[in-house]
Amino acid sequence: MTNTSPKHTEPLERTLYEQSVAGRRAITLPKADVPDAPLPDAQLRADNGLPELSESQIVRHYLRLSQMNFGVDSGFYPLGSCTMKHNPKINEQLARLPGFASIHPLQDAATVQGALEIMHGLQEALKEIGGFAAASLQPVAGAQGELTALLMIRACHADRGQAHRDRILVPDTAHGTNPASARMAGFLAVEIPSDARGNVDIDAVRAACDDRLAGIMLTNPNTLGLFEERIGDIVELVHAAGGFVYGDGANMNALTAVVRPGELGIDVMHFNLHKTFATPHGGGGPGSGPLGAGARLAEYLPGPVVEHDPAADPRYRFARPERSIGRMTAFHGNFGMLVRAFAYIRALGAAGLRTNAADAVLNANYLRGRLKSEYPVPFDRLCMHEFVSEGRPEGSSARAIDISKRLMDFGFHPPTNYFPLIVREALMIEPTETETKETLDAFAEAMLQIAAEARDAPEKLREAPHATPVSRLDEVKAARERIVTDRAARGSDGEIG
């Protein structure tokens, strides 16, 4: 990323609309080879409001924009809870094969047997990795997986005459999507505090287990990067009270081939393919959040799912689980992501997946060891794939956000800030397994240097970043003015938008 320092009043890159000139085009379309049909004049619009540009303008525009963006391919991206690992390039190539990208979701099953076999293979792999009885690839993101799982729990309670069970326990370290999903699924969320070791406070769980309990949402390892030490007891308490245990599998990267969540007693869990199984994050999606379910909830999984019957023709077919809650997306989930995740699992096998987990955990602990003198870790025990430290070095008034911004000057993407909520000035650091020791060392050096600067030259942090195309941006102004579309698109009168 370069600092192109133009005059400050001039934007770094003019918008498409600012560059638009009437009459310019980037593409010509096939000539009409059929007669014109009469258009219904009353329904036509005069202007569709799109800009007009040439192809070279468009290419340069987006190329310059890409140069103002930072991805895993650009450098170290220890964004906690997001598992920003390297995305193998072969998977991109394979997912773009016309046999995958260019098949229609409503084609006859006989014409997509390869696709169905891959989906089936992935279902089986996720069952095996998770220790589940069944899997559904419908959910298209982790959050949607959460919602889906909660709707399954809801449906199952209703079928058992337990519709009054309306409470879902959610630890206070949980990702924000957890309570939001609970609400969307019509539950009342009961926040459970954390104990002094960073575990879910089991006594609070016990106190909350009553006949209105529908279940608990457990993230393991939790968002402090810690393995729930008493997960067995929690599961037992919740089951004994008639509830289900939902697992937020966002942090599965620590546990692939290390332990099967299903064997820990998790009844239903989402996998984040865009984390654990290296499908790229796309600048904010698409993701994929398949579900694995144990025997008690399997028949409620969303459908369609892929079934395999070697004796049938065709052998692979879509089917609905017995008491399926229904569809979660228009078609079959994010198939393109499924292909990439399947390829990833195929390439690694069980041994590779375990090595992933082991190196992810090793790397996180190594960084924790190197950083904790300057960045105290409030729950200081061996961590899993990530750890959360406090971004307020001794003897300075610097905050997590300052440290994050200063990290950019060293060529690193900052860690996750201010989450989980229970740690002050949280810096959530997840190095992933795909980083070399040199990278980890360089990051540690930068962090330690920043801590020293925080004491000796605090303005370096306060004014950071210095090496990015823009300096700190005014978020308050954005929220106040709410300019969410381009003035140039709206025209001078600013009518639309």
Partner 1 sequence: MVNRGMIESRHSETEHAEMIRTIGIASAEQLFADVPKPLRFPSLDLPEPLAEADLARELRGQARRNTPIEDRPCFLGAGSYRHFIPATVDYVLQRGEFYTAYTPYQPELSQGMLQAMFEYQSMICQLTGMEVSNASHYDGATSLAEAILLALDATGDARDRIVMSPAVHPHYREVATTYLQGTNAEILVPDDPAIAASGLLPFVDSSTAAVVVQNPNFFGLSEQIDGLAQVVHGLGALLIVVSDPIALGLFQPPGAYGADVVVADGQPLGLPPNFGGPSLGIFATRREHIRRLVGRVVGETADTEGRRGYVLTLATREQHIRRERATSNICTNSALGALAAAVYLATLGKPGLREVAELCFNKSHYAAKQISAIPKVKVNANAQGRDFFKEFVIELTRPARDVNAILLEDHEIIGGYDLGGSFPGHENQMLLAVTELNTRAEIDNLVHALAGVVS
Partner 2 sequence: MGGKIGLKGTDGLADEAVRLGATPIAADRALASLKPLKALISGRRMERDLDWVTCSGAMGGDALRITSFESIEIVHQASSPTTVDDTVQAVQSFLEAGVDLILFCGGDGTARDIATATAKTVPILGIPSGVKMYSGVFGITPERVAKVVFAFLEGRVQAAEADLLDLDEERYRCGEWVIRPVGSALTPFEPTLTQTAKAFAVEASEAQAKAEIADDLRDQISACRDTVFLFGPGTTVQSVAEHVGVEKTLLGIDAFLNGRLVERDLNERAILRLLGDKKNAVLVLSPIGAQGFVLGRGNLQLSPEVIRRIGTGNIVVVATPAKLQRTPVLHFDTGDAALDRELGRNGYLSVVIGYHLRRMVPVG
Which residues within the stretch 363-392 sit at the binding site for partner 1 (CB under 8 A)? 363, 365-366, 368-370, 382
- CA 368/CA 444 separation, integer angstroms: 9
CB of 142 to ligand PLP, least distance (A): 2
- CA 281/CA 345 separation, integer angstroms: 17
- Judged by CB under 8 A, does residue 43 bind partner 1? yes
User: Which option in partner 1, ligand PLP, partner 2, none does residue 373 bind, with CB closer than 5 to 8 A by kind?
Assistant: none
User: Which option in partner 2, ligand PLP, partner 1, none does residue 248 bind, with CB closer than 5 to 8 A by kind?
Assistant: ligand PLP
- What 3-state DSSP class applies to 143? helix
**Nearer Cβ to partner 2, position 190 or 238?**
190
**Nearer Cβ to ligand PLP, position 289 or 294?**
289
- Judged by CB under 6 A, does residue 289 bind ligand PLP? yes
Question: Can you read off the two tokens belonging to residue 474?
Answer: 């005014």
Backbone torsions φ then ψ of 64, nearest 5 degrees: -65, -40
Question: Can you read off the two tokens belonging to residue 42?
Answer: 């009353």
Please list every residue from 168 through 207 that binds ligand PLP, using CB under 6 A: 175, 177
**Nearer Cβ to ligand PLP, position 222 or 324?**
222
Please list every residue from 242 through 281 that binds ligand PLP, using CB under 6 A: 248, 250, 272
Beta bridge partners of 417: 427
- CA 240/CA 249 separation, integer angstroms: 23
Peptide bond connecting 314 to the previous residue in cis, omega within 30 degrees of 0: yes
- What 3-state DSSP class applies to 59? helix
Distances (CA, A) of 265 to 150, 187, 268, 409, 420: 16, 22, 9, 45, 25
CB of 155 to partner 1, least distance (A): 7
- Judged by CB under 8 A, does residue 448 bind partner 1? no
Question: Can you read off the two tokens belonging to residue 367?
Answer: 């960084």
- Judged by CB under 8 A, does residue 323 bind partner 1? no
- Judged by CB under 8 A, does residue 193 bind partner 2? yes
For 78, how many CA atoms within 13 A lie in the half-sphere containing its CB?
32
**Nearer Cβ to ligand PLP, position 248 or 390?**
248
Please identify which residue in 82, 152, 192, 428 interacts with partner 2, judged by CB under 8 A. 192
CB of 455 to partner 1, least distance (A): 23
- CA 457/CA 125 separation, integer angstroms: 52
**Nearer Cβ to partner 1, position 34 or 196?**
34
Please identify which residue in 103, 133, 202, 422 interacts with partner 1, judged by CB under 8 A. 103
Binding range to partner 2, per CB under 8 A, among 184-192, 271-279, 315-323, 481-489 = 184-192
Residues in contact with partner 2, total (CB under 8 A)? 19
- CA 141/CA 107 separation, integer angstroms: 24
Residues 369-394 as b or e (16 or more Cβ within 10 Å = b): ebbeebbbbebeeebbbbbbbbbbbe
Question: Can you read off the two tokens belonging to residue 486?
Answer: 């381009």
User: Which option in partner 2, ligand PLP, partner 1, none does residue 296 bind, with CB closer than 5 to 8 A by kind?
Assistant: none
Helix axes 400-409 and 437-456, enclosed angle (nearest 10): 120
Binding range to ligand PLP, per CB under 6 A, among 135-143, 227-235, 318-326, 389-397 = 135-143
Please identify which residue in 13, 201, 402, 435 interacts with partner 2, judged by CB under 8 A. 201
Binding range to partner 2, per CB under 8 A, among 96-104, 189-197, 263-271, 337-345 = 189-197
CB of 356 to partner 1, least distance (A): 9
Walk across the sheet containing 426-429 and list its strands.
Answer: 387-390, 426-429, 416-417
Q: Which residues contact 62 (CB under 8 A, 6 or more apart)?
A: none
Please list every residue from 156 through 215 that binds partner 1, using CB under 8 A: 175-187, 189
Q: Which residues bind ligand PLP (CB under 6 A)?
A: 81-82, 141-143, 175, 177, 219, 223, 248, 250, 272, 287, 289
Q: Which residues bind partner 2 (CB under 8 A)?
A: 167, 172, 179, 182-183, 187-193, 201, 203-208
